Amino acid sequence: MLENIYEELVKKVNDGFKCVMLTYLNLYSDRDGTITKKIILTCDEIQNKLIILSDDIYNEIQLSMNTGKIRVFNIEEKKSLIIEPFIPKPRLIVFGGGHIAMPLSEFASKANFSVTVIDDRPFFANKKRFPKADKVICESFEKSFSLLNLRKSDYVAIITRGHRYDGLVLREVLKYDLSYVGMIGSKRRVKGMMEELLSEGFSSDKLNLVNSPIGIDIYAITPDEIAFSIIAELISFKNKGTINNSGEKFVIPEFDIDVAEKIFVEAEISKALITILSSKGSVPRKAGAKMIAYYDGRTIGSIGGGCSEAAVIVKAREIMVSKGFIIEHVDMTGEVAEDEGMVCGGVMEVLIESF
């Protein structure tokens, strides 16, 4: 069953893997047909060319990964391929649950980071104190590393309650290749620690990657201001690679993981998956956004709401009966959209596929 591939997708994204989904289409026309198979490939599998694909397809896959955009193209007569990139949320791991960690967790969540907070004190490491964190770990800093499975896409903020604990965590963190490492501390203390770590054999190249004192210098004083300075630095690191070699900006595709988790759940009635393939102009949701429509009228997720979404849901019910897929053109530039109070001026291409 094609929907079972989404269970694999959710697992890979939750494990921090960038990946693409290949959806193979048999065409009745340029707008409808049947879906024959779906394949998930991670970045490593793409680089190693794990499966046999033409150079043209691998080039299109790489272009999709480099731009964050869904690619749809013909591979032979009456056959097309959809390449859909999936980018996991960047994970911020905060060592220390003190007064700076609270606003940092909240602001990072709003900036679309998945947040994990670690502290060895139950009063500081609990979900009530950090409601916006995805995970709160109450464990010694030494033992916490066995629970984290640190990966290259991770961001680490070291803001423990003392210089000794900061050093303990940093020594362990330096063993990993990460997207960002930041540590709190005065310039004097930071300089002293770096000299100490150099004497212990840590390379200067590795130590130069540590952002310390942590955060952009905005003369922050309060915990909120310090958290703002850290978030600004995190965002700058996250987005600094968004311009590729061709000068085209990388666009993080929308991905509703809560919707994806429902796709592979068995249902007694027919359902359809609706995905925005592309959008232009002013539209409520961007490419990659998904929703599920059931034959009884229930829906999960949204592609923007309003009359255009309602029309797509009606079309989805038709596809549930006939099976297969259809690509719908949604125009939000007309008077109807404006009268309904929708954001007008944009168009979308939407894939509807039945399960």
The pLDDT value given to residue 302: 93
Radius of gyration in angstroms for the set of CA atoms belonging to the chain, rounded to a whole number:
23
Contact 277, 82 (CB under 8 A): yes
The beta-strand segments (E) located in the chain are: 19-27, 32-42, 71-76, 79-86, 91-95, 114-119, 135-138, 155-158, 180-183, 210-211, 271-280, 290-294, 299-301, 325-331, 347-354
Does 125 lie in the same domain as 71?
no
Kindly state the percentage of the chain with pLDDT values over 90: 74
Does 296 lie in the same domain as 317?
yes
Does 111 lie in the same domain as 74?
no
Residue 335: pLDDT band (50, 70, 90) is very low
What is the per-residue pLDDT across 79-135, written as a single tens digit (0 to 9) for each?
Answer: 999 999 998 889 999 999 999 999 999 999 999 899 999 999 999 999 999 999 999
Q: Can you read off the two tokens belonging to residue 343?
A: 């954001």
The pLDDT value given to residue 247: 56
**247 domain residue, yes or no:** no
The pLDDT value given to residue 241: 58
Does 257 lie in the same domain as 235?
no
Contact 301, 268 (CB under 8 A): no
Is the pLDDT at 339 greater than 70? The verdict is no
The pLDDT value given to residue 86: 95
**244 domain residue, yes or no:** no
344 or 126: which leads in pLDDT: 126
Is the pLDDT at 308 greater than 90? The verdict is no
Angle 39-45-48 (CA atoms, 0-180°, nearest 5)? Answer: 135
Q: How many domains does the chain have?
A: 2
**What is the reported pTM?**
0.79
Cα 106 to Cα 186, 207, 214, 257: the distances in Å are 24, 28, 17, 20
Give the CB-side neighbour count of residue 335, counting CA atoms within 13 A. Answer: 0
What is the per-residue pLDDT across 246-259, written as a single tens digit (0 to 9) for each?
Answer: 556 677 788 888 89
Exposure string (b/e) for 131-152, b if CB count within 10 Å is 16 or more?
ebbeebbbeebeebbeebebee
153 or 72: which leads in pLDDT: 72
Does 333 lie in the same domain as 215?
no
Does 95 lie in the same domain as 80?
no
The pLDDT value given to residue 337: 46
The pLDDT value given to residue 19: 95
The pLDDT value given to residue 299: 96
Q: How many CB atoms lie within 10 A of CB 48?
A: 10
Mean pLDDT for all residues in the chain: 90
Is the pLDDT at 326 greater than 60? The verdict is yes
- Alpha-carbon span 80 to 115, nearest angstrom: 39
What is the per-residue pLDDT across 43-66, written as a single tens digit (0 to 9) for each?
Answer: 999 999 999 999 999 999 999 998
- Full residue range of the structural domain in which residue 52 is found: 2-86+252-354
Does 292 lie in the same domain as 346?
yes
Q: What CATH number is given to the structural domain containing 162?
A: 3.40.50.720
Does 217 lie in the same domain as 293?
no
Does 260 lie in the same domain as 212?
no
